[in-house]
A and B are shown apart, each in its own frame.
Chain A
Amino acid sequence: MVDAFFFVGLPYLAIVICVAGCIWRSRYDRFSMSARSSQFLEDGKLLFGSLPWHVGIITILLGHLIVAVVPRVWSSLMTIPAVLFGVEALGVACSLLAIAGLSALIVRRITDARVQAVTTTMDLVVVVLLMAQIVVGLLSAITFRYGAAWSAGTVVPYFWGILTLQPEMAYVTGFPMLFKLHFIGAWVLIALVPFTRLMHVLAVPLGYIFRAPQLVLWNNPRRSRHAVDATVRAESRRDFIKGAVGIAGASGLLALGVSEKVLTYFKGPDPDPEAESALLQKKLERLQQTAEERQLELERQRVEMILVARYSELDAVKGKYFIDYAMAPGLAFKGKNGLPLLISAKCTHLGCTVGSQVNAEGQIMCPCHVSYFNIVTGQPNPGAPAKLPLPHLAWALVDPSGNVVASGRPGGEVEGTPSPELLAQCSLYITKPRHSA
């Protein structure tokens, strides 16, 4: 209930307040919209506050924006370790820069009498909220590293869910408290935009880049009858010429492409004999390689047992990866009873490889969309993107002389009770899955 308010109710409340408030203010109170600079009253300390603050916060906000707009491109970039580390380091550096700048601004606002003369209550509220928000953000980025990589699969779907009116709070309800605070802070700040100086963020004068240097406005109706008509005529002529040239160019390119296709159709392909033979050779090599691989897989499936590890290598907390009969990843743990526990590591959501580390709740986590699976039951946590449990695998323990001393089935039935001394010498195998019929 509380989660539903903070992660679905509050966002919609904030967005409605922000959009409606901004429209209202820009229509009925435009005079109040200003960056409200106090440089005129105090310009020494401002330099060391305003500049680092703005540069830092704008870089960070752009980072947040990019990952939301192009999550796929972004996460594929983040698979390169150097880029990931670079982005994380830049984020932390810019947060520190922004915190330093904001601290300087707060000190200046509190201590300078002239700046106090133009300070409103809302200014102080905003400045405190911003400071809290950025500190929480930095702390969560340090505590839970590589957010640049995993946020694309968790926060971004949540964010788009909100925007596309299909809120899916399951993505964020399992998050640590720090993140939750950061989300709530963001929505509160967005709701405050129309009532504070924050609105100047929406007034970024990008039009200045393209604007002619001089600006002349006419109120003269006589001019609109004569000169303006002429200007409009000239402009529409120019626009028409521009459009015609564009259409002609595009049709030319199109005609060129079509005629090329038509020509090759009638003439037939005409490849270079050498290139053709090289291409065929390459195809043959690839086919051979595929055949060999398939052969190996088949042989593997015919074998009764596949070696996973020596028993002594197993651990209760840190799983050992192996490849099962279906060529899918699996994890081997030492169970509570000292016997092996084998579970599939292929996430039942979208097939990512689940992590090998067991947390305090006895769960392993899929890093792609944060599903937690209990290793004993295989069940995902409630609300996780994955809905099906991870299956267990059948196993056998074999002593050095080749005798099966114990074996287990996915259901949990175990045959044989080897002594601990014997266990230590055993090796762990997976056994061929048998149809229960």
Chain B
Amino acid sequence: MDVRAHVSVIFHLDKCIGCHTCSVACKNVWTDRPGAEYMWWNNVETKPGTGYPTRWEDQEKFNGGWKYDAEKKDIALRCQNKADAFLKLFYNPNQPNLQDYYEPFTYKYEDLFTAPAGDDQPTAVPVSLITGEPIEIKSGPNWDDDLSGSPIYAENDLNLDKLTEEERAQLFEIERLTMFYLPRICNHCANPTCVAACPSGAIYKRGEDGIVLINQEKCRGWRACVAACPYKKIYFNWKTGKSEKCILCFPRLETGQPPACFHSCVGRIRYLGVLLYDAEKIPSAMKVSDRALVDSQRDAILDPHDPEVVAAALRNGISEEFLDSAQNSPAYKYVVEWKLALPLHIEYRTMPMLFYVPPLLPVMGKSANGTYEHSADNFFTSLEDARIPVKYLASLFSAGNEQVVEAVMRKLMAVRYYKRWQSVRDLAENDVHRILREAKTTPEEVEAIYQMTAIPTHYQRFVLPPLQREEAIESTCSPEACKGCSGFSLDPAFTPRA
């Protein structure tokens, strides 16, 4: 057993209101620079929708992720092999270009003040942030925001392909259009394709916390990672000629603060905690059939309360303080204990370490007499007629395995019915307990889920491990000599102009 620790993330989609505060916080901290204007390390998509970059899930086009060979039971990069990777240095056919994202723009605000007097109001025309020339804005980072049901955007969502005509019609029924929000950051995968594809060996996973980083000094701009990442969460900086990605705000994590997008989240949908996993299981975990992938990933995650695991972790140099935060981790509760959080598109087989609690609302199906049914009897039959089809959610969160998503939905629903029965008492106690049984849960677990979902404190949502960066730095050089040579440099060349 090779125990490793991973700082993992849960996004509770039922709580996301799609306000983009996370995106803006991230933009202000990290990507408000020349060459990075178009990057949104954190973005929020409307689902059903095409996302950012447009149709990033289309691996027929972008060739991201791992390809599974069912006969050999082996996986290989979809975008390149070791030979043609060298030809792709000169031209990478899988790389998304500016049109797939959007051309970054600003407005010529000074024209409002300097325009000569005339008959018309002066206007601030949009100009490209790349060429400086006036442009017609054709798209933006959240261009299909709230546009569920639109034939241009939502209809082109790839996850709808598996739905029947009837289910599609139901999804886009006028006045009952359904959508939810999907915030996305780098998944900091346990089996990342970007690392495997990088010709220069500039991308690496930090051993202590699993954060995937790009060494900007080693990166030579070959762009293989941009093509290889199936989530399109690596961005090419056109100005510096280097690739960049979400760094999970490691300078904040190392000083005991949650990442900027987590801290600013209005809906408090984000949780952060340590997961322990068995690195020996990683090579084989993603070499199973699509349906078994979610369980296979859960299998590789270890119980932090198991004395054997604790002993093996201590042997591997994971500190006791780190293990404490692993034992209190909301991520372990959501992913393994409650089995509520699922990885996004696990069929890309990168083993993402960011998990989503699928959205429950609005789950109700057909209404009778203009009101939705709320009786305990027909709830589970109506799950099949849910406004967001289970098939659609399964395509996103469980590689098409509907049973996995159904189990999550039943448990989420059970929590809701139990709490309603507790406070409103309009349901029969027997029915509620039957619902709990069918959802394979208990009143204690339901209370815990409710507590963590609805009324958690800051320190319950963010159980930050002590990263002990100071120890790591001291072991290589004295703090006095090291001033400015780790983390973000104090080199005057890198400080922003006053």
Mask, A16-52, CB within 8 Å of B = 1, is: 0000000000000011011111111111001100110
Instruction: Give the docked Cα–Cα distance between A211 and B195 (Å).
Output: 11
Q: Known contacts A214-B192, A220-B468, A223-B207: does B85 contact A116 (CB below 8 Å)?
A: no
Bound complex: CA A221 to CA B93 (Å): 42
Bound CA–CA A368/B180 (angstroms): 80
Known: A36-B241, A40-B95. A218 touches B131 (CB 8 A): no
Indicate if the CB atoms of B475 and A216 lie closer than 8 Å: no
Q: List the B side residues contacting A227 at CB < 8 Å.
A: 315-317
Cβ-neighbour of A47 out of B89, B91, B217, B219 (below 8 A)? B91
CB distance A117 to B472 under 8 Å?
A: no
Q: Which 6 A-B pairs have the closest CB atoms?
A: A223-B317, A34-B241, A205-B199, A218-B207, A222-B317, A213-B196
Residues of A within 8 Å of B92, CB to CB, are 39
**B131, B203, B223, B238: the one within 8 Å of A215 (CB):** B203
Q: In the bound complex, do residue B85 and residue A40 qualify as a contact, i.e. CB atoms below 8 Å apart?
A: no
Least CB distance, B278 to chain A, in whole angstroms: 14
Q: How far is the CA of A215 from the CA of B206 in the complex (A)?
A: 9
B191 touches A214 (CB 8 A): yes
Within the complex, the shortest CB–CB distance from B218 to chain A, in Å, comes to 8
Q: Is the CB of A215 within 8 A of B82?
A: no
User: Which A residues lie within 8 Å of B198 (CB)?
Assistant: 208, 215
* A422–B203 alpha-carbon span in the complex (Å): 90
Q: B205 contacts A41, CB within 8 Å?
A: no
Is B208 part of the binding interface, using a Cβ–Cβ cutoff of 8 Å?
A: yes
Give the residues in chain A near B220, CB-CB below 8 Å.
33-35, 200, 203, 205
Partner of A221 from the list B87, B90, B205, B471 (CB cut-off 8 Å) is B471
Is A225 located at the chain interface by the 8 A CB criterion? yes
Give the distance in Å from the alpha carbon of A168 to the alpha carbon of B98 in the complex.
Answer: 53
Is B206 a contact partner of A219 (Cβ separation < 8 A)?
Answer: yes
Interface hits, B311-326 → A, CB 8 Å: 315-319
B174-197: CB near A (< 8 Å → 1, else 0) gives 000000000000000001100110
Provide 24 A-B residue pairs closer than 8 Å at the C-beta atoms, listed in order of the A residue. Answer: A34-B221, A36-B221, A37-B236, A39-B95, A40-B223, A40-B236, A42-B97, A51-B91, A114-B131, A203-B200, A205-B200, A205-B220, A214-B191, A215-B204, A215-B205, A216-B204, A216-B205, A218-B208, A219-B472, A220-B208, A220-B471, A220-B472, A223-B207, A226-B317
A residues 228-270 in Cβ contact with B at 8 Å:
none
Which A-chain residue is minimally distant from B199 (CB atoms)?
A205
Residues of B close to A53: CB separation below 8 A: 90
Could you tell me if B475 and A221 are in contact, using CB atoms closer than 8 angstroms? yes
Q: Is B422 an interface residue (CB 8 A)?
A: no
> Smallest Cβ distance from B73 to chain A, in angstroms?
17
Looking at the assembled complex, report how far the CB atom of A115 sits from the nearest CB atom of chain B, in whole angstroms: 10
The CA-CA distance from A31 to B475 in the complex, in Å, is 25
Nearest CB of B to A256, in Å: 38
B70: Cβ under 8 A from any A Cβ: no
Q: Chain A, 104-132, contact with B by CB distance < 8 Å: what is the 0/1 string?
A: 00000000011011100000000000000
In the complex the two chains form, what is the Cα distance from A40 to B94 in whole Å?
11
Given contacts A40-B97, A227-B317, contact A34 B242 (CB under 8 A): yes
A-B pairs under 8 A by CB, number:
146
Residue among A31, A38, A219, A221 with the highest chain B CB neighbour number at 10 A: A219
Q: For chain B residues 395-427, which have a beta carbon within 8 Å of chain A?
A: none
Give the distance in Å from the alpha carbon of A35 to the alpha carbon of B90 in the complex: 9
Q: B4 — nearest CB in chain A belongs to which residue? A: A216
Contact B131 A116 (CB under 8 A): yes
Give 1 or 0 for each of B203-243: 1 = CB within 8 Å of chain A CB: 11111100000001111111100000000000010111110
Chain B residue, CB-CB nearest to A35: B221
B316 touches A117 (CB 8 A): no
Most buried by A among B241, B315, B469: B241
Q: Which residues of the partner chain B approach A203 to less than 8 Å between Cβ atoms?
A: 200, 220
Write out the residue numbers on chain A whose beta carbons fall within 8 Å of the beta carbon of B362.
Answer: none
B468 contacts across to A, CB distance below 8 A: 220
User: Chain B's interface: helix, strand, loop or mixed, by majority?
Assistant: loop
B133 within 8 A of A: yes
Nearest Cβ distance between residue B80 and chain A, in whole angstroms? 10
> Is A209 in the interface zone, CB < 8 Å from B?
yes
A41 to B101, CA, bound (A): 11
Q: A205-B200, A217-B205, A220-B317 are in contact. Are A41 and B130 (CB under 8 A)?
A: yes
Q: Is the CB of B316 within 8 A of A223?
A: yes
**Chain A residues, Cβ within 8 Å of B98:** 40-41, 114
Report how far A200 CA is from B223 CA in the complex, Å.
Answer: 14
Q: For the complex, what is the distance from the CA of A41 to the CA of B198, rounded to whole Å? A: 21
- Would you give the shortest CB distance from A307 to chain B, in whole angstroms? 64
Query: Are B195 and A215 interface neighbours, CB within 8 A?
Result: yes
What distance in Å separates the Cβ of A343 from its nearest Cβ neighbour in chain B? 55
Q: How far is the CA of A213 from the CA of B468 in the complex (A)?
A: 28
Q: Cα distance A223–B5 when bound, in Å?
A: 12
CB of A37 within 8 A of CB of B133, answer no
Residues of B within 8 A of A349 (CB): none
- CA of A226 to CA of B242, assembled, Å: 36
In the bound complex, do residue A34 and residue B240 qualify as a contact, i.e. CB atoms below 8 Å apart? yes
A180 in the interface, Cβ–Cβ < 8 Å? no
A213 contacts across to B, CB distance below 8 A: 195-196
Q: Among residues 239 to 254 in chain B, which have CB atoms less than 8 Å away from a CB atom of chain A?
A: 239-242
**B223 to chain A: closest residue by CB:** A37
Assembly CA distance A414 to B191 (angstroms): 93
Chain B positions within 8 Å of A219 at CB level: 206-208, 469, 472
B456 contacts partner chain A, Cβ-Cβ < 8 Å? no
In the complex, the answer to whether B199 meets A31 with C-beta atoms within 8 Å is: no
Decide if A217 touches B206 in the complex (CB within 8 Å): yes
- Does B256 belong to the interface (CB within 8 Å)? no
Judge whether A207 is part of the interface by a CB distance below 8 angstroms: yes
- Check if A54 is an interface residue, CB within 8 A of chain B: yes
A226 B316 Cβ-Cβ under 8 A: yes
| B267 on the A face (CB < 8 A) | no
A209–B92 alpha-carbon span in the complex (Å): 18
With A and B bound together, what is the CA distance between A214 and B216 in angstroms? 18
Minimum C-beta distance from B244 to chain A (A): 12
Contacting residues, chain A, for B239 (C-beta < 8 A): 118
Q: How far is the CB of A238 from chain B (nearest CB, A)?
A: 17
Residues in A with CB closer than 8 Å to B475 are 221, 224
Question: A46, A54, A213: which has the most chain B beta carbons within 10 Å?
Answer: A213
How many Å lie between the Cα of A54 and that of B89 in the bound state? 10
The chain A residue with its CB closest to the CB of B217 is: A30
- Counting CB contacts under 8 A, is B201 at the interface? yes
Q: How far is the CA of A31 from the CA of B200 in the complex (A)?
A: 14
Residues from chain B with Cβ under 8 Å of A222 in the complex: 317-319, 471
Give A372 to B204 CA distance when docked, in angstroms.
Answer: 62
